[in-house]
Amino acid sequence: MKNVILYGSLSCLLVLAGCSSPSQREKVSGSYDYLKTKQLTDGFEVPTDLQQPLRSNQYDLPILESANEDAEALVGQNMRISSPRLILPLVSGSNVIEGSEDAVVTFDKINDREALDKTIWDKVLGYLEKNNIGVENFDRENNVLTTDWVVSRTEIPADSWYDFTSEFIEESRKFTLSLELAPHGRIASLSNEIVAYIDQDGNSALNSLDAISERSDEVEFLNYIIAEYDFGIRLARSERIAKIRDGFSTELGFNADGDSAYIINAGYNNAWPRLLLVLRKMGFDVIDLDQSSGLLFVAYNGNDDGWFSGLFSDEELPLEKDNYRILVQRSGERTSVTFKDDENISFDIQLVTDLFPIFQEYMASDNLDI
């Protein structure tokens, strides 16, 4: 079965002139008379009454060996002048291997909640599914995936400016993606290799592809995957920011130690930045914090003087202007917040209850700056 992905499409604006085809733009233009030029071997013709000058071979043209067919082919119209395809490390923490001729990109682990290899394969499979590209084989244990046929359609411009009809050529390719994970699991390299090719005439012609074309195809397909990976990360980040901005509902409850606490209906990573905003609005200044341990050291300096504080009361919170501690803990898919004094003693249930209305309102408000 062949699955179609429209990539590398070419559109030309015909304005009183024809538009060259992709293959023509990859070749030099002009006269090729220089190919007929032969190097002088007899040296300078010097009059007999003058001394022959010393001759250096520093600027002699190299002689192509007849056995080297590739060298003989890379002259004149057969010389490719297209710029090389470059890998685009768009994803945060990604980079390229300098000097490598292979289509390979490395990723650093930036999400500790999920294994890096799972993250990458999820993005690869998501891209393939989104573009209706089948999977011929996926060896998850050895981190190797081979795609089904990826069909590209390239537009061939008309021969004359007044001809508005379009023709297309189709080519099909299969790629093998390989993932190499470092022993520590925090760095992985994703490489791409073309393993099958059918030309526009329907012939299997992988061996006919030159090195430049192979790398271009491999890098181009890898770049599509990287771009989709980056888009997914940016989309998830935007959705997360929107959730934090909208606020979360809160309930009275208990933390894992049985102390009175506020239970935020949000995951830890979303509740944490939202809590920092709420504390600022409540009149707390954060002195120190450690998100990995969920501990904040704060100082209460009085309510925010902004207009929003007037919706509750003109009085300040029933707290001394002093230093306090706040413990933030994961509670399944929710998050618990426990207020403590500077001696690490949790607030009693009455004080927690008294503070709850303003904490709940600020946590749910969508008017906080982010």
Place of tokens 């981190």: 143
Question: What does the DSSP 8-state code read for residue 237?
Answer: H
Q: At 162, which amino acid appears?
A: Y
**Separation CA 219–CA 88 (nearest Å):** 9
pLDDT at 123: 94
Residues 250-364: name the CATH superfamily.
Outer membrane protein assembly factor BamC (3.30.310.170)
Residue 262 — φ and ψ, nearest 5°?
A: -100, 135
Give pLDDT, residue 18. 45
Once rounded to an integer, what is the mean pLDDT over residues 102-120? Answer: 89
The overall average pLDDT reported for the chain is 83
Q: Which residues pair with 329 in a beta bridge?
A: 336
pLDDT in tens, 264-279: 999 999 999 999 999 9
Instruction: Classify 2-28+68-238 by CATH class.
Output: alpha beta
Listed range (88-92, 96-100, 311-315, 341-345) with the worst mean pLDDT: 311-315
Buried b / exposed e along 179-217 (16+ C-beta atoms within 10 A): bebeeeeebbbbbbbbebbbeeeeeeeeeebeeebbbbb
Q: Of the candidates 92, 118, 125, 121, which has an alpha carbon nearest to the alpha carbon of residue 107? A: 92
What pLDDT is stored for residue 297 in this prediction?
Answer: 97
d(CA 143, CA 165): 45
Encoding tokens for residue 138? 């996926």
Tally of CB atoms within 10 A around 85: 17
Q: Please indicate whether residue 56 or residue 193 has the higher confidence score (pLDDT).
A: 193
Query: What is the rounded distance in angstroms from the CA atom of residue 121 to the CA atom of residue 178?
Result: 10
User: For residue 12, is it left (φ>0), alpha (ψ between -120 and 50) or beta?
Assistant: beta
Binning the chain into helix, strand and coil, the percentages to the nearest 5 are 30, 25, 45
The residues of the chain that CATH labels 3.30.530.50 are 2-28+68-238
The amino acid that residue 328 corresponds to is V
The pLDDT value given to residue 225: 96
341-351 average pLDDT score:
94
